[in-house]
Structures are given as C-alpha cells and as structure tokens.
Amino acid sequence: MTIARLVPVVSLLLALLGFSGSAGAEPLERTVRVGLLAPASGSDDIEGFLTGMRDLGYADGRNLIVEYRVAGGKAERLDDLLAELIRLKVDVIVTGGTPAALAAKRARTAIPVVIGAMGDPVEAGVVASLARPGGNITGLSLQTSEGFAGKYLELLREAVPKASRVAILGRPLANSPIQAMEQAARLLDVRLQLVAIDQAGHLDRGFAEMTAQNAAALIVTPSPFNLAHRERIVSLAAKHRLPAMYGLTAFVDAGGLMAYGASLRDLYRRAATYVDKILKGAKPADLPVEQPTKFDLVINLKTARTLGLVIPPSLLGRADRVID
C-alpha cells in the first residue's frame, strides 16, 4: 500500500479509537491527575475545564483524572479541601475564586496552581505581578479596567431608565467593582445602596433593606459567595420585583434578568491550556496571568416579561445571548 493510500486509513483508525483534540495537541502518554477546587457547586467550571482538556487531547477516565472538591460557598472549608488534594499528590491544582487562590497561597505547596478565575491576584497578594507571577501560582483573573464596572450600571439603566436608586449586593473589598461603580453613579445621577452580606441566613434581611429604602434595581457583584447562592439571590430578586444585573452569566441561566461579564466556562477552558503547559514542563512563574478580553451580555426575556419590563431593541441588539 502506498503512503498516499495509507494516510486516510490511519486517520480513520485514529477516529474509530476515539482520539480527539485540537490540531497539534500532544497530550502526555501517562494519566495525569488534576485537583479542581471550587468555591461553590456549578457546571461552568468543570464543564469548561473538561472541554479545554479534551481540546488538548485529554479525556477524563482515559488519560485524565479530575479530583473535584467543592466548598459549598463556605470559605472556611477551603484549607481542608486543598489539603485533601495535596495528600492525593495531584499533578496540578486548579482553583476558583479569590478565597481558594489565597488558600493555595497559604498552603505553600510545591504543587503548581492554576487560577481558574479570581479578582485581582496582585492586589490579593497571590502573585507578584501579572506579567511575572513568581512562585508556583498563575492563571486567569476576572480583574478588568476600572471603567468596566461602570458598564453594569450603564446597561442596567438602559433596561430600567427610571431607576434612580440602585442596590449593590457585594462587599467593598479593595479589588471589588463597587468603587468604580460609584463614579459611574455620579455621572448617571444614581444613588447607590450597598448591602454587604456574607451569610446565607442574612439574604432575606438584605433584600428587605433594599425594599425599605426604595431600591428600583439591583447589581449583584461577581463573588464566590454570591455565585454559591445564586439561585436564592435570583429567587429573592424575583420576589421583591427587583430588576437585577449580575456580574456572571450563570445567574441568568438560573433565571436572573441580565448579566455582563466574562464567561466562567471560557475562563476554565482557557485554564486547561495552562495545565497542559505545566504538565509538559513549563513553570507557573514564567506564565503571565491573563485578564479577560471577551465579555458577554446575556438577557433573559422571560424574566423581563415577568417583571413587566420592555427591553429596548438597542440593548437587545447588543446582546451576545438572549434567553426567551
């Protein structure tokens, strides 16, 4: 058989045997074990990561084992869960959220750590700089320019033009978007009401405060706590008839009105490329931390109708995804 005839036969055999991955992907021959430490249960992180690994030629159960540990929104559990992954001697640890990245920093483990998503890793003291992380931690950050946070308020006002008082569910941390939103609020003549909640049992009280102070709309910041309790937050926003803008698209999939931000699924898919490079010998200290460059606007029209809102065509036309 000539080489020309042999090539398609080999390609067919590879396809039948289930070999997949992006062009040029060369996974390791051995089975690798990756620890994935998440602040809250959700599908975006694990599905995004597994998709990214499949693109690179790894398949869960064949040449990849993923040890998934979830803190259930309780940051105090992260150190113990991380210790479990260290005892398992995983090859790489992937973390989600600032508290998980800080737990990895405290552990001082020699195991390489890839951040799937967090706020500002420099401000939090997780890495020395974005360009040169140093140590054994690198990955992806949700941190964006200060002007980005103002987009939450601008887009929300387009959907709810008469909202002169807007509540913010979040905590005023140094790397949170709240400070940037205050500047945008002054330009839009909007008064902000900060509701800082870090316990699930206080959510009902927090929403009662919003209603008592006549909040006309709500912004929910992207934090591990808010993500962990997204279904409850979305339910309370519906109960109090508060049109809400969320910093993560997972909230809209849970029934929220609208979201603007980076996709967790895409970030974790990108995290897989870091894991692959590290498994092949790259050092985390030499891999720059990436910031998101793509942001999705997602609108839930079903929720809008329930709230009696008519989303302007100009806003719908800019949406990356519309749920109807």
pLDDT along the chain (324 residues), means of 10: 39 37 60 92 84 94 93 88 97 93 94 93 92 95 70 91 92 61 84 90 95 95 85 96 92 94 89 97 96 89 96 95 93
Q: Which fold has domain 18-142+263-286?
A: Rossmann fold (3.40.50)
Integer Cα distance of 138 and 112 in angstroms: 8
Q: What burial class does residue 61 get, using C-beta atoms within 10 Å of its C-beta: 0-12 exposed, 13-18 middle, 19+ buried? A: exposed
Q: What is the pLDDT of residue 147?
A: 58
DSSP, collapsed to helix, strand or coil, labels residue 65 as: strand
| Domain residue extents for the chain | 18-142+263-286, 146-261+296-323
Q: What is the pLDDT of residues 65-108, one digit of tens each?
A: 999 999 887 889 999 999 999 999 999 999 998 889 999 999 99
146-261+296-323 matches 18-142+263-286 in CATH topology: yes
**CATH label, 146-261+296-323, candidates 3.40.50.2300, 3.90.1170.10, 3.20.20.80, 3.40.640.10:** 3.40.50.2300
Q: Does residue 252 contact residue 101 with C-beta atoms inside 8 Å?
A: no
217-220 and 244-246 beta bridge pairing: parallel
For residue 262, the model assigns a pLDDT of: 83
- Of 273, 259, 271, 232, give the one whose Cα is nearest residue 101: 271
Instruction: Note the pLDDT tens digit of each residue in 191-219.
Output: 999 999 888 899 999 999 999 999 999 99
